[in-house]
Amino acid sequence: MLDALTVPARFAENLPDQRVRCYACAHRCTLKPGQRGVCKLRFNRAGELRVPWGYVAAANIDPIEKKPFMHFLPGASAMTFGMLGCNFHCDFCQNWVSSQALRDPAADGAGRYVEKTTPRQLVSFAHRSAARIIASSYNEPLITSEWAVDIFELARQAGLYCVYVSNGFATPEILHALQPYLQGLKIDLKCMSDPHYRELGGSLQVVLDAISLAHDLGIWVEVVSLIIPDFNDSNDELWNMSHFLAGVSPDIPWHVTAFYPTYQRLNTEPTSAEILQRAADIGQEAGLHYVYAGNLPGRVGSLENTYCPHCNTLLIKRRGYRIQDYQITASGTCPKCGTKIAGVWG
């Protein structure tokens, strides 16, 4: 059924002998007729790359803090849609039923959530729900970028903001192509070990380059690291992650979030509040201005709040996804010392 819900690719090039090369993600699959990409979603049919279009596996109204973005229209609702499939196969994926739908027989049932729709219907849903943002999330958005761009074109005309919630395994070409539509990009930085990245199906340097390029392109970037005990929680690795981010910009918010056992990683202990606090301390020591601890609401002290990096005034007080107090001025500054607070406050 999913193969019928496809259109010709925009983010691919034709090669001799009916082969096509996809550049929607950094796998850059070169496919002969009949072959499918690593994502299993995009496929060569008689010399034409066919890509998903015209359905969602989920569409919900969520607080933007759930994506998570802390410096992007705080308190706004995001109409969030997702399709199926992923270009990674993380054994700790929290959305594995939709992300691994085409790669893991255990996720076979995901097809029953598929609902046909159009970009116009989705933008209209966002409007009716008073959402100011449209987010492509739940599965990896890079691999369904044609669908997202068609939605975002209409969304931008309607005055909505558009964001991706991505693993960052992007090519420079796709980031340049998305830049006119995308105001926000959440990227996972899963670890600082290339062998570990390869186990998940990616490559460390590609993700680091994507973070740098997206920032240089003027897209608002927030980075999330799911902290998994004995996988990426050593002081060295946390330092390397935060030191890299601070080198791109100390204003990039870094979210260190708590793992809980799921999918194929059931024998690892959940991340404690103490581990998140240690990660945050390291991030702050590396020079990052905004470090947040997620997935343990009410248990991480001040690490859910935003403070002025200059005078330490409490600017946004949060509990989980709820904003309890908001002090940033309409022009995006600290009300006490006037420091410009990095983000999209519109």
| Binding of ligand SF4 by 211 (CB under 6 A) | no
210 binds ligand SF4 (CB under 6 A): no
Smallest separation, CB 22 to ligand SF4 (Å): 3
Inter-CA distances, 260 with 89, 196, 229, 270, 287, Å? 17, 19, 10, 4, 28
State in angstroms the smallest separation of the CB of 27 from ligand SF4: 4
6 part of the interface to ligand SF4, by CB under 6 A:
no
89 near ligand SF4 (CB under 6 A): no
In the list 2, 42, 88, 103, the residue contacting ligand SF4 (rule: CB under 6 A) is: 42
Binding status of residue 22 toward ligand SF4 by CB under 6 A: yes
- The verdict on 163 binding ligand SF4 (CB under 6 A) reads no
What residues have CB less than 8 Å from 77, skipping those under 6 apart?
A: 61, 62, 63, 64, 129, 130, 131, 132, 133
The yes or no reply on residue 24 touching ligand SF4 (CB under 6 A) is yes
The yes or no reply on residue 52 touching ligand SF4 (CB under 6 A) is: no
27 sits near ligand SF4 (criterion: CB under 6 A): yes
Please name the residues in contact with 110: beta carbons below 8 A apart, sequence gap of 6 or more: 57, 84, 97, 98, 101
For the bound state, the minimum distance from the C-beta of residue 51 to ligand SF4, rounded and expressed in Å, comes to 8
List 2, 6, 20, 37, residue binding ligand SF4 (CB under 6 A): 37
Question: Binding segment for ligand SF4 among 21-29, 105-113, 195-203, 207-215 (CB under 6 A)?
Answer: 21-29
**Residue 74, C-beta contacts closer than 8 angstroms, at least 6 positions apart:** 64, 65, 316, 323, 326, 328, 345
Closest residue by beta carbon to ligand SF4: 37
Determine which residue in the list 7, 18, 19, 28 makes contact with ligand SF4, applying CB under 6 A: 28
143 binds ligand SF4 (CB under 6 A): yes
Residue 38 in contact with ligand SF4, rule: CB under 6 A = yes
Please report whether residue 29 would count as binding ligand SF4 according to CB under 6 A. yes
Q: Which residues, 297 to 316, sit near ligand SF4 by CB under 6 A? A: none
CB of 175 or CB of 291, closer to ligand SF4 = 175
Give the list of residues 6+ apart from residue 274 with CB closer than 8 angstroms, or none. Answer: none
Per-residue interface string for the shown chain with ligand SF4, residues 107-136, x marking contact by CB under 6 A? ------------------------------
The reply on whether position 149 binds ligand SF4 by CB under 6 A is no
Among 20, 25, 90, 256, binds ligand SF4 (CB under 6 A): 25
Contacts with ligand SF4 by CB under 6 A lie at 22, 24-25, 27-29, 37-39, 42, 87, 143
